[in-house]
Amino acid sequence: MLICSRITMAHTNNGNQSETEGDSIKTPDTLKFSYNQLFIPATLMLYGTVETAVSIKRRMLNYAIGHEVIVHKPERFQIDNITQYIPAASVYALNLAGIKGKNNLRDRSIILGLSSLFAAISINSIKYTVRKERPDKSASNSFPSGHTAIAFMGAEFLWQEYKNVSVWYGIAGYTIAAGTGVFRVYNNKHWVGDVAFGAGLGILCTKLAYWIYPSVDKAFSKNHKNRNKIAFYPYYNGQKGGFSLSIKL
């Protein structure tokens, strides 16, 4: 799982600049900070930490389930390499289909970009600090599951953007995210604790992005004209995904 960023800069004639999106100056409806919203991600991360810390006890799910996967050697399905991106991509697909979400293209793209940045930093920092061996012994970067974190990051993003339209969008997103985590264990790439922690971390990254976005938007957009100079766009080229920052000078 790779998350990258790229920056594009362009010169424009501010005098001839025009609006291309009707809701481009819409103020994003962001989350109000509430400690209650930390309960689920914190619980998942705590459980994942406990599983990893005391996994020497064979009765823990890490080894109970991992042992079954290793012994029975089921046929592997690499669909998790694709499903990790589906929840976040669904937000843009729904918008293209004419189903408007909470925020406009610019605002939601910046929020997703912030979420991706938080996830990339936290996932890689933890992976190469803990250095837990994967179940298949292919590497020592098992904890936490990056695929699962990205999937749940996208699921929370989908939920926040479309929960006021229909709760089923969020349910579908979280179902796909959960399936991604299950396949990471099934494919013998991660322990249960890796997946649990990754799920909580992904949710937390998106919540954090919604909470701090008003401050970020205010810092970069002192007036309507400056708002149109900065934009974030997610991308995926078949091998790696991330976000692109475009700055118009």
Is there a contact between 211 and 30 (Cβ–Cβ < 8 Å)? yes
The better pLDDT of the pair 186, 17 is held by: 186
Mean pLDDT to the nearest integer, 134-157? 94
Task: Give the other-Cβ count within 10 Å of 117's Cβ.
Answer: 17
pLDDT at 59: 47
Confirm if 47 and 61 have CB atoms less than 8 A apart: no
Question: Which pLDDT score, from 0 to 100, does residue 78 have?
Answer: 82
Residue in the block written with tokens 């599983």: 51
Tens digit of each residue's pLDDT (9 = 90 or more) over 28-58: 545 566 778 899 999 999 999 988 887 555 4
pLDDT value of residue 13: 46
Q: Supply 150's token pair.
A: 């990205």
Does the pLDDT at position 219 exceed 50?
Answer: yes
Coil/strand/helix, residue 17: coil
- How much is the pTM? 0.76
pLDDT at 181: 95
What the chain holds in terms of domains, given with CATH numbers, is: 30-219 (1.20.144)
